[in-house]
Every structure is written in C-alpha cells, then in structure tokens.
Structure 1
C-alpha cells in the first residue's frame, strides 16, 4: 500500500536506537524475561475468555495483567502526578501522549486500562491484539483517510458514553530525545463530546537518568527486533507524567487544542518541539 501525503514521518531511524553505551543483562536473564513474558501472555487468554464473567472487575484484571507484562520485560513504571487519567469516574476523557515505543500502550494500560486508538495492524498481533481489542480499542487505518470522519464520530460517541480513550497524536514514533507535532484530527472527538483532554508525557530512561533510546520503536524495523533490545536493557524505567487536564472550552478548535497538549507534553519532557505564537494567549 502506498503512503499518502498526510502520513506523519519521523526523522528517527535505527541509528537513533543503536548508538550509545547502555548496560545489558546476561543471556540467562534475557531467557528468564522471555519465559516470564510468555507465561503472562498466555495467562491473558484467561482474561479474554473470562471477560463476560469478570464484568466490573475486568478493568482491574486487565490493569494487573498489563502491569505484570511490563514487569516481565524488565521495565519499571514510575507515575508522576495523579495516577488517574479520569479525574471524574464515568466522565469521558481523551488521553494524549507522545509516541516512543511499542511499550507505550502497555504502560498506559498498566496505570489505568482504557480504550486505545491503535494502528489497524496491531489488531493482528498475537494475543496482544486480542487484549487491546478487549479493552474496547478503536483501530484506525491510516492508509484510508476516507474513514477518518467515521473514526472521529465513533470516538466522540465513546467519549460521550464516559470512556477514557488513549491516542498518540504524533501518528508515528520518535526516539525520545525529540518529539513530533500533534496532529489535530482526533482532538475533534473531544470537542464534539465536550470532554477534557488529559496530556500524558512518557519518558524512557535508565538508572543514571540517560534517555533509553534503545527502547524506541522507530523506522522500518520489525517488532521482534525492538523487543529484543528492551529484553537486553538493564534498569529500564518508564516515567509516566500525568499532566493537568485541558478543560472543555479552553480551546475553540481542534488545532488550538492540539497545540496546547503538544506544548504541555514537550514542556514536561524538555524535548525540542517548536512552540507556536498561537499558544501565547492560551498559556497566559
């Protein structure tokens, strides 16, 4: 399939994630991580099968499962700020975060399970795709722009029904040192539903505070290659910075709303996204 002009592009490639010196675990530890992750993955089948029985406890079971999976890969999660993405239970919220790694969605669901806006190909991932689908996620085909209004309408309805929905508005992954522009299209769903936007900033680092570029999933590499790098890393930490909500009415249109969220995330991370003059009156 050919890409279209709207498709986001990142300058990050494999050279971004292979450079630098990072401590690695032994091959024995890697094998233990793999075995543990496989056990956790297989246990996820129980959640998929038992979802009708779990009912109100499904979210708790899913959160525990994602937390166990992230730990199995040797990753520690640090939450900064309120660990709730939904300040008011039962009120919809659009959660937007920067996009670095295949671990992003797993980490966010380990903090609070939510429906995710995900690439269509993720739906076909073994087991993970089924669990992400079980959380009520919406899959978007970026090759077919004609479906975008339908997706926005679907998201707006879900937000009106009180769901927390997560999305990566950059539309592609970055290495973590710099960030991309937030595409405004899906912010329209929050405006239509009259719900807040919750910016979340994700930072991947190792124990000494260095940005863990090997954790990124960039360029044209395959998922298995990216997973191998994470399995070998020692002391990988994902910082989840839950930032203040952007209340309904603070922005008049989706472009301004995207700019505010983008600037909040960039400020939290200290990354190099150019700020815009249009933000001056919003941040005053």
Structure 2
C-alpha cells in the first residue's frame, strides 16, 4: 500500500486485454471438454490449447497486478476492497463445502434410515440402513476408509502447515526475511505432500478396499468431499508457491503484504475444512 497514494485515491487500471485472453482460453476449453466426453480426438488438443492459454493469462494478469502493487499504486481504499473481496470469496467457499456437509448429514440421518423403514421392506427386504452403506440397490462389498493411518498423518501435516504459514506471517511483520522464506517453503511443501499422500490413499481405496466413486451413497460423498478438498489444497499450494517466488524476488514489506495475507487466510480455511472432514467423513463412520 502506497503511503503517497493516501486514503482519497482509488487506483483504476487502464483497459486490459487479459479478460479477452481468458475468454479465448475458456472457448477452447469448453469445446475441448465437449469433444473429449464424446471421445472425439480433436477435443484433447483443444483442451491442451485452452489450458496453455489459461496459464499464459494467469502469469500475465497476476504479474501485472503484482507490478502495480509493488509500484505503490494501491491506496488504503484499494487494500480494503481486496480484503472485502477475499473475505466474500472465502465465505462462498464455506457455503460450497457446507452444501456437501449438509448432503452428507441428510443422507446419513434421514435418507438411509428412511430407505430401511418397514414401508420399503418390500423393495429391499435385506437393507438395514446402517452407515457406511452404498445404498440398498448396490450389493458390491467394500470397506470404509478409517481415520487412522494416512488420514491421521495428513491431518498432522495440514495442522503443521497452518503453524508454518503463521510463523512466516509473523516473520514478515517483523521483517525477518530468512524465516519468512523458510516458513513459506515448508508450508507449500507440506501442502504438496498432503496431495501426494491423498493420491496414494485413493489408490489404496480403489485397489484394496474396493471403494470407488460408483460405491453408491458412501463412495460418492467420500470422494466428493475429500476430492474437492484435495483440489483446494492443490490450488492453495500453488498460490503459496507463487507468493514464495514473489518473496524471493523481494516483494512484500511489513506494511504492504495483503497478497501474502489473502493466501494465508485461504490456507487456514483449508485447514479448518479438513478438520471437519476428518471428524465427519473418516472418524464418525
């Protein structure tokens, strides 16, 4: 935040071509996805082109915003708008996961017991309604994923990463650049380690537990919740890596570092969601 900019000046950037570049990327990705699901070879090429353009846009657009920030163009009002924007974005993510937690709750507490009621015994006489279950119409055997082992290790990893990112934040406030770099490095390293262990866990679930996306009620909710969370951890780890690269380039000061703070907020949100997942998906099975 520029002290010269003051509280009365709100920086408005010049017209940018980056939104158009992003629209072109989505155009290629949309047609690529449509062709790919219909098994047309052209679709994979279009998808690759779309992703390449999207990556180019992300580097260019984010780089332009970083240069604007480092040149002191953002005032206190701009900083405040960034904070409100990030707060509402995280709130939307909270609601996103709340919908899936709500679906899990409704399925376990209402839907599955109702399907085991006497009025349904004619259709599924052997269905008892216990959890975890694939539902009355899927008879294939499977084993649920327990809380200990990899899930517990991943919980420790994410909680540790929350400590390291907080350590890095305090180091930035105290202008201790060495601790800042180390704390950020440890955080995104732990994030990528979490994703790698989750991929290994999925392989174990498929091959050893016969737990798949097609395993009815339990399989669908398990992979939907843990998979979306893993996607968020991946994005958060990439964001932390980008912030670390900016720190290595000398960006951020104790007074001006919302780019760091916004990513730290997001990472703490990811930590909290995982605690909910560990309790309601893994532990209370």
Higher strand share: 1
TM over 0.5, shorter chain: no
TM (normalized to structure 1)?
0.27
Higher relative contact order (CA 8 A, sep 6+): 1
- Say which one has the larger Rg: 2
